[in-house]
Amino acid sequence: MTTRTLLLLPGDGIGPEAMAEVRKIIAYMNAERGAGFTTDEGLVGGCAYDAHGAAISEGDMEKALAADAVLFGAVGGPKWDAVPYEVRPEAGLLRLRKDLKLFANLRPAICYPALASASSLKPELVEGLDILIVRELTGGVYFGEPKEIIDLGNGQKRGIDTQVYDTYEIERIAGVAFELARTRRNRVCSMEKRNVMKSGVLWNQVVTETHKRSYSDVQLDHMLADAGGMQLVRAPKQFDVIVTDNLFGDMLSDVAAMLTGSLGMLPSASLGAPDPKTGKRKALYEPVHGSAPDIAGKGIANPIAMIASFAMCLRYSFNLVEDADRLEQAIAEVLDSGIRTGDIMAEGCRQVGTAEMGDAILTAFRKHYA
Ligand code: IPM
Ligand code: MG
């Protein structure tokens, strides 16, 4: 029988509640579909700091490096606001991204028909929305050196972050965007700030050259990132694939998330390069929403982004495309049936908690195999 190894890192806040709903789906797929998932578990974020004094332990890092895929919940919360910067909860996530070399972050923003009216935009602007943000994830200002606060000795300090991109980093993320565009509507929009930033000038050049060299069948446009943000809320359906750097991708993906009705809806996949020998990629799957400490522990969080992240895991790590399609359809069906968590609640719908939403999705998923 196939074995497929998963490391679960539920993390803090609503992470564990959302992860519990994915566990139910894994258990079903193992018991009745012979999926052969073996799961291990670890700590990341504030809970890891409490247990080990680090945002992720060396032991858990080793497990992450060895697993076929990592499922990640969320990290952070006010409890850890004062911990040293190096061991703050987010450092665990950033280390995972860096050490696993997960340079390609895929953030699809899909507006489920049933949720068009939950968006902050007019329903006609978001109905049928299907965009994919491809965010560079291991470079740019997130990791560039120097990164420090220095004392100028005159009563002033200076905070420094460094935005830096090398040719190969831009080439490989552009390649991912073009490849994915070919499986969709064949259009890529690249966003940077070439009018202000040297890294933006290089980004624009390298994307243009990569396109010319290997992907001229794909339609390529360029937009300044600020204008891109404006266009995302003005007419989001003009986009197919957006490719952008680490920081712009962070911001633009939160904007895109809200278009779909709720931050609680957006999954993501973070992928490394395929191993030249095995063809396998290291991968981590995480909901775009954070730990939402204000609602943690209440059983009311929306587990859909976490479940949809698992669907992306089925698709990209295990090539279980049909199962991924069915799980995504199950989510759409449950929403169509009027079941809602509080964040996406609408008139005439039935409000449920985290576990009931997870159960409803599992029931719908099972029906696809009946
Ligand atoms: C995200 C988050 C992270 C980021 C944080 C938690 C470090 O906002 O995944 O979008 O900034 O990348
Ligand atoms: Mg973010």
Q: Is 59 among the annotated ligand-binding positions?
A: no
The reply to whether 99 and 113 lie within a common domain is: no
Which atom number of ligand 1 is nearest to the Cα of residue 97?
12
Residues 15 and 30 in one domain: yes
Instruction: Verify whether residue 285 is a known catalytic residue.
Output: no
Q: Out of 231, 264, 297, pick the residue that ends a domain.
A: 264
Active site annotation includes 157: no
Q: State the CATH number of the domain containing residue 3.
A: 3.40.718.10
Q: Are residues 236 and 167 in the same domain?
A: yes
CB 299 within 8 A of CB 353: yes
Distance 255 CA to ligand 2 centre (A): 10
25 and 87 in a single domain? The answer is: yes
Q: Are 255 and 203 in contact (CB under 8 A)?
A: no
**How far apart, in whole angstroms, are the C-alpha atoms of residue 23 and residue 19?**
6
- From 240, 264, 288, the end of a domain falls on 264
Task: For residues 147 and 278, state if they share a domain.
Answer: no
Task: Say if residue 128 is in the same domain as residue 260.
Answer: yes
Query: Burial of 171 by CB count in 10 Å (0-12 exposed, 13-18 middle, 19+ buried)?
Result: middle
Is 346 marked as binding a ligand? no
Does 77 count as an annotated binding residue? yes
Among residues 50, 166, 226, 275, the one annotated as catalytic is 226
Same-domain status, 92 and 194: no
Distance from residue 288's CA to the centre of ligand 2 (Å): 7
> How many structural domains is the chain composed of?
2
pLDDT of residue 347: 92
Confidence (pLDDT) at 117? 85
* Domain of 197, in residue numbers: 108-264
**pLDDT 10s digits, 178-199:** 999 999 999 999 999 999 999 9
Indicate if ligand 1 lies below 6 Å from the C-beta of 136. no
Domain termination site, one of 246, 264, 282 = 264
Q: How far is CA 50 from CA 46, 95, 101, 290, in A?
A: 6, 18, 26, 19
Catalytic (active site) residue 217: no
Closest-approaching ligand to the CA atom of 95: 1
- Whether residues 209 and 332 share a domain: the answer is no
Q: What is the pLDDT, as a whole number, of residue 260? A: 87
130 catalytic? Reply is no
Do residues 197 and 309 both lie within one domain? Answer: no
Among residues 302, 231, 240, 275, the alpha carbon closest in space to that of 18 is found at 302
Closest-approaching ligand to the CA atom of 94: 1
Residuewise pLDDT in 10s, the chain (370 residues): 678 999 999 999 999 999 999 999 999 999 999 999 999 999 999 999 999 999 999 999 999 999 999 999 999 999 999 999 999 999 999 999 999 999 999 999 999 888 888 888 999 999 999 999 999 999 999 999 999 999 999 999 999 999 999 999 999 999 999 999 999 999 999 999 999 999 999 999 999 999 999 999 999 999 999 999 999 999 999 999 999 999 999 999 989 988 888 888 999 999 999 999 988 999 999 999 899 999 999 999 999 999 999 999 999 999 999 999 999 999 999 999 999 999 999 999 999 999 999 999 999 999 999 8
CA dihedral 183, 132, 324, 336 (to 10 degrees): -120
Residue 156: its pLDDT value, please? 98
Report pLDDT digits (tens) over 234-243.
999 999 999 9
Same domain, 15 and 58: yes
Token readout for 205 is: 């050049």
Joined tokens for residue 28: 């079903």
Three-state secondary structure of 125-139: HHCCCEEEEEEECCC
Q: How far is the CA of 250 from the centre of ligand 1 (A)?
A: 6
- Looking at the structure, tell me whether residues 170 and 245 fall in a common domain: yes
Q: Which residue is closest in CA terms to ligand 1's atom 11?
A: 250
* C-alpha distance across the termini of the chain, in Å: 22
CA distance 327 to 329: 5
Residues 161 and 140 in one domain: yes
